[in-house]
Structure 1
């Protein structure tokens, strides 16, 4: 008697037509990779077993996918899954050449917030350097505590601005000071506002590629009545090695584009005000 092609084979294997249909239903590798990256944009970590179920593939297939994405630098392969890749800070000279209009718009907005007689703490970085430039051009009778040579030089062009420079160990590539002496200097002051940048910002808070620089920014935030983070949209959902501060310690994010997704939700939950500067 002939076997019905629509019924399962007695040996447990699917009939040829069913196998072909199953193959057609499977996602291509390109689509799987796209979905893995998209899921990491919504969640900082993923488990391989959950991805295998969600994408209807074997554990071996998902492990190959994760390894390929890791080798391409698109994800970080972890034990049992994957995480977002860490952001690496480009050289400061290179960072100064990008997002100039966006950073100047951010700096202009921050400058307009500052009142005479205020005391500021200003972190190092490409965006905060633009803040220093705008403060020097537009503001008067303020005191700025900084550890950044370029920012101090820019501020020094305005004779009404008092610049207090922190002690510490020089980071030659970045042109600022860091280490225990820098933090001790910061802890000797109180300020109205801290203005700091970041290598990346995510739902958990602000990140820096250098943990010692991150510790300096965290100290500035702790010693100030108000904390302002300045970051362009290119920093959104970027992670780095050190988390400096969580959003519940940040009063305001000044950026050039409205955050969305998990980042926007985290900012709302923490009560962090978002100010969007138009470039």
Structure 2
């Protein structure tokens, strides 16, 4: 096996086990200790692992931040499935907040209820909703994040303070045992206000978001009511979900 192939396999092992020792690399790939150490050094140079004494760990902090178009392409079948399940939670006449999550956008795509009002800071979601009948759209104003295509800032947050909605739909870039995290600190004040202004806070996240920690903490489990995802999360997170009485909805089927 070439080194590049072995490095991919080591990362796959780490995704499941979080830690791999030099001895385990030697055993799994039938290589010498020197080769195993070179593999660890190479992965460290690439910024993909943290090297400890005789072992490698996955970093707990996820730092990659794809732009909006890249996020739209990632895990799209799962996002559609989760989005359709989430849309089924919306009743005729519901007032909603929808954030800039691409999974939340899918929920708005599948929206089939009538006479809804949607407050949003997501310009693409607002544009999508203009194609539906009997929807009143409130697009928050403020600063534009060009790369991620959302509105944020003090003006947007102050506008959100004047609303109250039945349901707030938010995505999450990371869900760890201590709650929801995001790389977008700029948007966090607005999202927290949208959560405070809702009777029900619904988080949409595919399984790849679990056990990921981002730079900025957005909310704890005590602030949310429902999580819609595609599979049950890891035991450490499941324990927190149960502890705080959060409803877990597993989306099923192919869409």
TM-score of the pair, normalised by structure 1: 0.72
Instruction: Pick from 92, 102, 110 the counterpart of residue 78 of structure 2.
Output: 102
Shift of 1:83: 5.4
Task: Give the structure 1 partner of residue 191 of structure 2.
Answer: 217
Task: Give the structure 1 partner of residue 147 of structure 2.
Answer: 173
Residue 122 in structure 1 maps to residue 101 in structure 2:
no
Instruction: Pick from 184, 187, 195 the counterpart of residue 161 of structure 2.
Output: 187
Range with bigger deviation, 240-249 or 257-266: 257-266
Structure 1: tracts of 5 or more residues without a match: 1-29, 41-50, 52-64
Task: Give the structure 2 partner of residue 38 of structure 1.
Answer: 17
Q: Secondary structure at the match of 1:189?
A: coil
76 and 148 in structure 1: CA distance in 2 versus 1, 3 angstrom threshold: farther
Q: Which has the larger radius of gyration?
A: 1
Shift of 1:35: 7.7
240 and 38 in structure 1: CA distance in 2 versus 1, 3 angstrom threshold: same
Counterparts of 2:87 and 2:67 in 1: how far apart (Å)?
26
Counterparts of 1:37 and 1:216 in 2: how far apart (Å)?
35
195 and 36 in structure 1: CA distance in 2 versus 1, 3 angstrom threshold: closer
Range with bigger deviation, 104-113 or 85-94: 85-94
Q: Secondary structure at the match of 2:88?
A: helix
Mapped contact 1:87–1:200 kept (Cα < 8 A) = no
67 and 215 in structure 1: CA distance in 2 versus 1, 3 angstrom threshold: farther
Instruction: Pick from 111, 115, 119 the counterpart of residue 141 of structure 1.
Output: 115
Paired positions, count: 226
Mapped contact 1:75–1:84 kept (Cα < 8 A) = no
Counterparts of 1:129 and 1:181 in 2: how far apart (Å)?
23
Q: CA RMSD in A?
A: 3.0
Shift of 1:98: 2.2
Shift of 1:179: 1.0
Task: Give the structure 2 partner of residue 275 of structure 1.
Answer: 249
Residue 204 in structure 1 maps to residue 183 in structure 2:
no
Task: Give the structure 2 partner of residue 153 of structure 1.
Answer: 127
Mapped contact 1:205–1:244 kept (Cα < 8 A) = yes
Shift of 1:76: 5.9
Task: Give the structure 1 partner of residue 27 of structure 2.
Answer: none
Q: Secondary structure at the match of 1:96?
A: helix
Task: Give the structure 1 partner of residue 236 of structure 2.
Answer: 262
75 and 249 in structure 1: CA distance in 2 versus 1, 3 angstrom threshold: farther
TM-score of the pair, normalised by structure 2: 0.79
Counterparts of 2:51 and 2:194 in 1: how far apart (Å)?
34
